[in-house]
Amino acid sequence: MKIAVYYSNDDIRIEDRPKPRIADGEILVKMKASGICGTDVMQWYRIKKAPRVLGHEMAGEIDELGTDISRSSHPFTHSPIHPFKLGDRVFVSHHVPCYKCSHCVQRNYTACESLHTGNYDPGGFSEFIRVPKENVKYGTFLLPDEITFADATMIEPLGCVVAGQKQLGLKKGQSVLVIGSGVSGILHIQLAEMKKAKVIATDINEYKLNKALEFGADHVINAREYSVNKLKSINDNRLADVVIVCASSKQAVDNAVDSVERKGKILFFAVPQNELILPSLRLWRDEITLLFSYGAAPDDLKKAIELIKSNRINVGKMITHRVALSHIGEGFKLASESKTSLKVIVVPDSDA
């Protein structure tokens, strides 16, 4: 089968590898669409483990079934178990919790070691993917008819946004500053708008600022011209109740700290590239809450599926480019430069 092996953002090689062989409880999925995530093109982060097959936003069709295949929700619910069948359209999560450890018992699923270390084989940027037993059981979701394979690539990123905003407890009328209007930023904008928050978005790219407005931001500010005074001028002379950081630059971090209101919250959704240096005295006196968000639990992914199915969150219009697996290098170039693209997805050569 054909696979795309990541060596660097500029060096992604198409190689041949035998189809994975599945064991009992596992499935083989034929990839129909796989999204290029912002973390996939974060070279300083990815190159440490190169070469490897990336891709964790994958949807496809079940091509082979092991014995004793079933799907279920987690052990803390009483949902019935249903069998899978060949040809089922599925979204597969690469990370799943064990539901047994102390973190899982406390329902802190994204702290689970299994969630951090598990994955599917070899990765979403390949023609076929072996899904391990635990991922079959807790991380494989049947796609509703309303969700296309392309739209399904947005389930994982939206699930992560759902998980992040769950920590914020956003309320109607609160002001939210979203720093960075790429894919994650625009998903945050849509979800915050759905909760009737006032949303102000920034970016250095005019294309993305226009997209932020298109997807529901109330105001946008070019980050090159950003200032606290500009924020106050469109926010009733106040700083933001909540700041969501969807950019990794030092300037984004500094702007976040400068822009949050007393008793406010900052959610670091993007990974800051450098170590954080923060004004501890100001954070203490103003009682600022700092939050970080990693990944999504199965319940967050289920919520994302519901939001996409009902079209309460519009993901289809966020997909701006699709590339064939054999031309994935072009997709990485589009996603890493990110000048006139939002979501770039990879599809099999036969579907391009």
pLDDT digits (tens, 9 = 90+) for 106-118: 999 999 999 999 9
Paired residues of 6 in beta bridges: 12, 52
Task: Please check the confidence at residue 316 and state whether its pLDDT lies above 50.
Answer: yes
Per DSSP, the three-state class of 245 is: strand
Mean pLDDT for all residues in the chain: 94
What's 118's DSSP letter? -
CA–CA separation, 264 vs 257, rounded Å?
10
The pLDDT score that the predictor gives to residue 76 is 47
CA–CA separation, 238 vs 271, rounded Å?
27
Average pLDDT over residues 57-68: 94
Q: Give per-residue pLDDT as tens, 171-210.
A: 999 999 999 999 999 999 999 999 999 999 999 999 999 9
Q: Is the C-alpha dihedral spanning 327, 7, 127, 95 positive or negative? A: negative
Query: What is the band of 321 on the pLDDT scale with cuts at 50, 70, 90?
Result: very high
Q: Is the C-alpha dihedral spanning 275, 280, 283, 289 positive or negative? A: positive
The predicted model scores a pTM of: 0.95
Joined together, the tokens standing for residue 129 give 């993917």
The pLDDT score that the predictor gives to residue 79 is 44
Task: Please check the confidence at residue 78 and state whether its pLDDT lies above 80.
Answer: no
The pLDDT score that the predictor gives to residue 80 is 45
Q: Identify the structural domains of the chain with CATH numbers, from first to last.
A: 2-156+296-351 (3.90.180.10), 168-292 (3.40.50.720)
CA–CA separation, 189 vs 194, rounded Å?
9
The pLDDT score that the predictor gives to residue 272 is 86
Q: What are phi and psi of 204, to 5 degrees?
A: -90, -5
Average pLDDT over residues 98-127: 96
Paired residues of 213 in beta bridges: none
Task: Please check the confidence at residue 7 and state whether its pLDDT lies above 60.
Answer: yes
